[in-house]
A = this chain, B = another copy of it.
Amino acid sequence: MRFIVTGCAGFIGSNLVDRLLMAGHEVVGIDNFSTGQRRFLTDAVSHRSFTLVEADLLDEVGYEDAFEGAQAVFHLAANADVRFGTVHPRRDLEQNTIVTFNVLEAMRKHHVRQILFSSTGSVYGEAPIIPTPEQCPFPIQTSLYGASKVAGEGLITAYCEGFGFRAWIFRFVSILGERYTHGHVFDFYRKLKENPARLEVLGNGKQRKSYLYVQDCIDAMLTAFAKADGNVNVFNLGVNDYCEVNASIGWISEALGVRPRLDYSGGDRGWIGDNPFIFLDTESIQSLGWRPKYSIRDGVLKTVEYLSTNEWVFEERV
């Protein structure tokens, strides 16, 4: 099959590109390299079935022809960091909502009608039901990021109804693994390299979060695409577990062989809009036969291992 992958040079996108190429598919990757890394595409660009389109999806033109002849679009291009919404409120609107609209319009123009979308567990805000099922009560958004992703979901499902599209919407927990370039493991690793004796922790360290290893995440998306045949298919993706930030700090410190003093900024939230407890009900995706192969601890350790052999990712960040 011929797939489009937007955000192809990103963390999840580049791993997905490699998997799709390995499975014998043709892949057209689109990225503007605003946060994506060319080095993540080192293998892909040498592959004859890969085409790279360097374009900004916030523009309305300049990339649509790439959509011609594709069977489906993995729309992963996004501002993927939930934490800085209040610093740059327009960024989530533009990168996540308007870009999704532009992708849908490019698809419509070229008669591509299947879209797989990286949404987020953040769309549940502070969910009243934990573990949170896909059908939980109509949520109140608590972050600009969640708001921008729920807007993307709305656009996509309206295109399903209005234009005969089919959609697979994935509400991710945080993803870990190779090519991970933002989030708590990234930040803690960098800080501990700078100062192994002391670690500043946002909040009280008791925030409970769930994580999923990137290859498990990709397995889940491909399973859902192969097996879920509704017009609108919505799946939580995560492991059947969660951990405290403090536990994660313990695993990271042990892997690095450091014993930092922990200084907490205090409060039960790490930042404005932080959700102190994220744990998704993944019964729906598991009913299709998918199971995560890696635990949260596995994911954290694999991420630390990746970062320790790829410290260039810290230098690339401005």
> What is the interface of chain A, defined by CB distance below 8 A to chain B?
85-86, 89-90, 93, 97-98, 101, 104-105, 108, 124-125, 134-144, 146-148, 150-151, 153-155, 157-159, 161-163, 232, 234, 272-273
A141-B157, A157-B141 known; A273-B97 Cβ under 8 A:
no
Nearest CB of B to A19, in Å? 29
Nearest CB of B to A162, in Å? 4
Q: Find the residue from A86, A150, A234 having the highest chain B CB count within 10 A.
A: A150
Copies in the complex: 2
Are the CB atoms of B146 and A154 closer together than 8 Å? yes
Show 5 residue pairs from A and B whose CB-CB distance is below 8 angstroms, ordered by the A residue.
A138-B139, A142-B157, A148-B154, A158-B273, A162-B273
Known interface pairs A97-B151, A144-B162; 10 further A-B residue pairs with C-beta atoms within 8 A, sorted by A's residue number: A89-B162, A90-B101, A125-B157, A135-B138, A136-B138, A141-B155, A141-B161, A147-B151, A151-B151, A151-B154
A101 to B85, CA, bound (A): 13
Nearest B residue to A145, CB-CB = B158
Are the CB atoms of B143 and A161 closer together than 8 Å? yes
A159 to B142, CA, bound (A): 8
Are the CB atoms of B135 and A85 closer together than 8 Å? no
Are the CB atoms of A155 and B162 closer together than 8 Å? no
A101 to B144, CA, bound (A): 11
Nearest B residue to A151, CB-CB = B151
A153 to B141, CA, bound (A): 8
Residues from chain B with a CB closer than 8 A to the CB of A157 are 125, 140-142, 147
Nearest CB of B to A124, in Å? 8
Are the CB atoms of B137 and A138 closer together than 8 Å? yes
Residues from chain B with a CB closer than 8 A to the CB of A154 are 141, 146-148, 150-151
Nearest B residue to A132, CB-CB = B138
Residues from chain B with a CB closer than 8 A to the CB of A162 are 85-86, 89, 143-144, 272-273
Are the CB atoms of A272 and B161 closer together than 8 Å? yes
